[in-house]
Each structure stands twice: as structure tokens, then as C-alpha cells.
Amino acid sequence: MSRKSSASSAFRLSVDAYEALHALHDEMLRVADTIDSAASLPLGPSKAEQARRRALASVFRIWASQVRIGLDNVRSD
């Protein structure tokens, strides 16, 4: 058995699972946008709070990116 065929079988998903992961990806991006939004705080965040929010939003965006890469890999197999 070739290495590619064994890797491909590890990424097979049902349509429902694929759609659920796609929805998770979209939700993570919405959460990141909400966390990083200056409008979410009525008085405006301090510099430290703004940096903390941007860092947290970045984590969600990276996570969403990894989910997207996985979904693209599944779709291309």
C-alpha cells in the first residue's frame, strides 16, 4: 500500500461531517472578527486589551485556516 493511499483514507469524511467542519470554519472566523472588533467595547479598549484581543483573534483565524486546509485536502482526494 502506498503512503498516499493510506493518508487519503485517513481524511475521508461524510458529507455531514464536511458541512459541519465548514460551518465550524465560518463560525471561528466570525468569533475572531467579534473579538477583534473595536465596536464590541463601548468605551474603546486600552492598548493592552486591544493587543490581547488581536492575539486571541489571531489564534481563531489560524485555527480556521487549519480547518480550511484540512477541508481542501479532503475535497481534493
Domain ranges of the chain: 3-76
State the CB neighbour count (10 A cutoff) for residue 56.
14
Contact 56, 35 (CB under 8 A): yes
- Cβ distance 60 to 35 under 8 Å? yes
pTM summary value: 0.69
Rg of the chain taking only CA atoms, in angstroms:
17
User: How many CB atoms are located within 10 Å of the residue 15 CB?
Assistant: 7
Q: What is the pLDDT of residue 21?
A: 92
Q: What is the pLDDT of residue 43?
A: 66
Per-residue pLDDT tens digits of the chain, which is 77 residues long: 444 544 445 557 788 988 999 999 999 999 999 988 755 556 666 888 888 989 999 999 999 999 999 888 887 76
